[in-house]
Amino acid sequence: MSGKNSYSLLATIETPEQLRQLPASQLPQLAVDLREFLVHSIATTGGHLSAGLGTIELTIALHYVYNTPEDRLIWDVGHQSYPHKILTGRRAMMSTLRQQGGLSGFPKRSESPYDNFGTGHSSTSISAALGMAIAARQEGSNRQVAAIIGDGAMTGGMAFEALNHAGHLKSNLLVILNDNEMSISPNVGGMHNYLAKILSGKLYSTMRDGSKNVLSIVPPVWELARKAEEHMKGMVVPGTLFEELGFNYIGPIDGHDLPTLLTTLTNLRLRDEPQFLHIVTKKGKGFPPAEKNPTCYHGVTAFDPETGEIYPNDAPPGYTHLFGEWICDMAEQDERLVGITPAMCEGSGLVEFSQRFPQRYFDVGIAEQHAVTLAAGMACEGLKPVVAIYSTFLQRAYDQLIHDVALQNLPVLFAIDRAGLVGADGPTHAGSFDLSYLNCIPNLVIMAPADGNELRRMLYTGFLHDGPVAVRYPRSSGSGVAVKKEMKALVFGKGQVRREGRRVALIAFGSMVAPALQAAEELDASVVNMRFVKPLDVPLLIDMARHHDFLVTIEENAVAGGAGSAVNECLHKHGATVPVINLGLPDRFVEHGKHGDLLAQCGLDAKGIAKTIRTCLD
C-alpha cells in the first residue's frame, strides 16, 4: 500500500448509477482504488477490515449488474459491507465510521436507501431476501433480490431453513455464498469459471427446461436424464446439497475475477428461479498483513496502513481476558470442565483454552441454539459445560436456555460477555436486555461482578453450583483492581455494603458499582454491591429500606424488567414502602459511540447519577 493513490477513479463515483456508466474495462482499476481507500480509511478509524477486502470485486460487480437500490442487496452480518457503503454515497463519511453520530459499522436502513436490510447478527440474509422476493412477486414487480452470505454464516441453522423454504417456493432469488475459508485451488479457476458462464447462460437454461418438458412425458427416461445431469454436475461442482434444496447451483468461481463475476451475474439476473452462486474469495485480499492473519484484522483498531502494525493499546486486561485465564485455571483443577462457544473463540477469550485443552473445546460455529442444547446434553452426562457467549447472541438461544437447561435444572455455566453497552459496535451488539430476559427464568442464578476479582469468584461459585448459572460482565477493563488468581466462592445470594452514608442508598449491580461509589462520595450516600441479581439478598435490601429515605437501583441494562424491577417486586412483597428510583438504559436503542460517552448520555456515569439523585433530594 503506497498511500499515494489519489483514488482518482473512485473519486468520480458517488452513486452506483455513476458506476454503471463506466466501461467494464475500467472496473479492475476501480477495485484497486477501492481496496486502497478501504485500508487507509480503516487504518484511521478501526473497524472490520479483512472481510471487506475480500468482497471488493463482488461489490463492484453487483452494483454494476443490478439496478440498485431498486434491486435489493442483502449483506449478511455486515462485516463485508464497507465497500458497499463506499460505493453508495458514503465515501466522504467513512472517517466517522463507528463514531457517535457517524456511520454504523453495519448496514442500516435509516442510513441509506441502498441498505435494504439492517444486520448485525448472522444468517439472516436469506430469510429477509426471500421475504422481499415474495413481496416483489405479489406486487407483480421484476425487482431482483440477492443475498450475500459468508461461509461462517452458513453454519447458522436459520440459513438452511430459509434455503429450504426458498427452494420449495421456487422464488426469484439469488443467494451468493462468499466462501473465504478455502484457498483458490486449481479447480476454482479457468474450467470452473468457464462452466459457470455456460451453466448460468440462457442457452443451457433453455435446453435444460426444454428437455424437462419433453422427457417428463416418459417418466423412466426423465428420471434417467435427471440423474445423469446430477452426476455430470457432481463431477465438477460441489453443489448437490443446494440442488436438492431446489436451487440451481453455479460455481465455485473466483470471486476476485471481475469479468467472470460480471458475466455470471448478468446471466443469473435473467433467470426467474432460485439461484445459488458459490464464489471463493480471500479474506484480507490485497493487503498482505490481513492476508497473512485475517483473524487479527477481522475487527481491528487503528494501524499503520503501510506496514499493518497495529498501534499499541495500553488498557489493562479486560473481563474477557480474565475469563480466559479463569477457565484455563479451572480446567486444570477439574477435568469435567468443557468450553463451548458459537464461533467466538477470540472474542470470548478462549484462544489459550482451545490450545491447551483442544479435546475439551467446542466451537460449534454460528449456531447459538445448538451451543446451548449441546451444553445441556453434556451436563446430563456429568460434564460441566461453560458456554462463553455474548449477551446479544444468547438472545438467539432463549428457547433452548429455558426448555433445555433451566427446565431440567442442569448445571450449565453461562459466561455472558459484552453485557451492557458495547461502544462502537452499537445496538446490534449491545447486551442491553439480558438481566430482563434472564431474571424471569426459574432455577437460574444470575450474578454481575463489580471488578475482576469478583468475576473470578463468581465464575467459581457458578461452576460449583448444581444448576444453571449466568455470570454477566461488560467488555471494559473493569475498575483497575489487582486480580488475585485464587479459587474462592462467594457466600451464595449475599450482597456487600461498600459504603455507609445518609438518606440515600445506591443499590448497584455489576459495572455500575464503580460510578455509584464516585457519586456517593459527593452525596454521602450508602452503596451496596448486590453481586447477585437472582437470588437477591432480601435481608440486606430490607435493611437498606429501613434506614434510608429512598433507594436508587443502578444497572447497565434496560430498566424495563431489569434488576431494579426485581428489587421493586422484592420490597413490595415484604411490605417496604420506601420510594425507589430505577436507573438503567433508556427505553430506546442506544446508538454507537465511545462507551463512556454513551453511559454519560444515558445518565449512568457518576456525574449523571449524582445529578439525578440531587434532583430527588431537592
Q: How many CA atoms lie within 13 A of 355 on its CB side?
A: 7
Report the relative pairing of strands 248-254 and 337-341 from DSSP bridges.
Answer: unpaired
Can you give the length of the chain in residues?
618
**Residue 182: how many other CB atoms lie within 10 Å:** 12
Identify the residue whose cell numbers are 431537592. Answer: 618
Amino acid identity, position 35: R
For residues 388-398, one letter each, b for 16 or more C-beta atoms within 10 angstroms of the residue's C-beta and e for the rest, the string is: bbbbbbbbbbe
Sorted by sequence, the CB contacts under 8 Å of residue 233 that are 6+ apart come out as 199, 239, 240, 243, 249
List CB contacts of 132: < 8 A, sequence separation 6 or more.
72, 74, 116, 117, 143, 145
Burial of 338 (C-beta count, 10 Å sphere; 0-12/13-18/19+)? buried
CA atoms within 13 A on the CB side of 207: 9
Q: Which amino acid is at 277?
A: L
What is the grid cell recorded at 267? 446471466
Decide if 67 contacts 40 (C-beta within 8 A). no
Q: How far apart are CA 492 and CA 513, in angstroms?
A: 19
The angle that helices 319-333 and 452-464 make with each other, rounded to 10 degrees, is 40
Among all residues, which ones are annotated catalytic? 283, 368, 396
- Which parts of 462-598 are beta strand (E)? 469-472, 496-499, 504-508, 526-529, 532-534, 550-558, 580-585
Residue with cell 452506483: 16
Contact 537, 530 (CB under 8 A): yes
Pairing of strands 384-390, 413-417: parallel
329 burial level (CB within 10 Å; 0-12, 13-18, 19+): middle
Cα–Cα nearest to 177, from 125, 135, 130, 109: 125
